[in-house]
A = this chain, B = another copy of it.
Amino acid sequence: MTVKVAINGFGTIGKRVAEAVLKQDDMELVGVTKTRPDYLAKAASLRGLLYVPEEKLQDFEKSGIEVAGTLDELLRKVDVVVDATPGGIGKEYKKVYEKYGVKAIFQGGEKHEVAGFSFSTLCNYEEAHGKQYARVVSCNTTGLLRVLCTLHKEIGIEKVRATIVRRGADPHETKRGPINAIVPNPVTLPSHHGIDVRTVLDIDIATTAVVVPTTIMHLHVLNIVLKENVSKEKILEALEAAPRILVIPSEFSGIKDTAKIIEMARDMGRKRYDLNELAVFEESISVNGKELFLMQAVHQESIVVPENIDAIRALATNVSKEESIRKTDSTLGLVKTFDDVLKVISRFE
Query: Which residues of A are in contact with B by a Cβ distance under 8 Å?
Result: 15, 18-19, 22, 36, 38-40, 42-44, 46-47, 63, 171-174, 180, 216, 252-255, 257, 259-260, 262-264, 266-267, 269, 271-273, 338, 341-343, 345-346, 348-349
Contacts and interface: CB of A to CB of B under 8 A. Distances in A.
A39 B348 contact: no
B272 A267 contact: yes
Contacts of A171: 216, 259, 262-263, 266
Contacts of A269: 271-272
A163 to B, nearest CB: 20
Contacts of A348: 15, 18-19, 22, 43-44, 47
A61 to B, nearest CB: 14
A222 to B, nearest CB: 22
Contact of A254 (B36, B262, B264, B343): B36
Contacts of A19: 348-349
A341 B273 contact: no
B44 A346 contact: yes
Contact of A267 (B36, B40, B173, B253): B40
Nearest to A39: B253
A267 B349 contact: no
8 contacts: A22-B348, A38-B253, A38-B254, A39-B252, A43-B267, A43-B346, A173-B259, A273-B273
A340 to B, nearest CB: 12
Given A172-B259, A273-B273, 9 more contacts: A22-B349, A39-B253, A39-B341, A42-B253, A46-B343, A46-B346, A171-B216, A172-B263, A266-B271
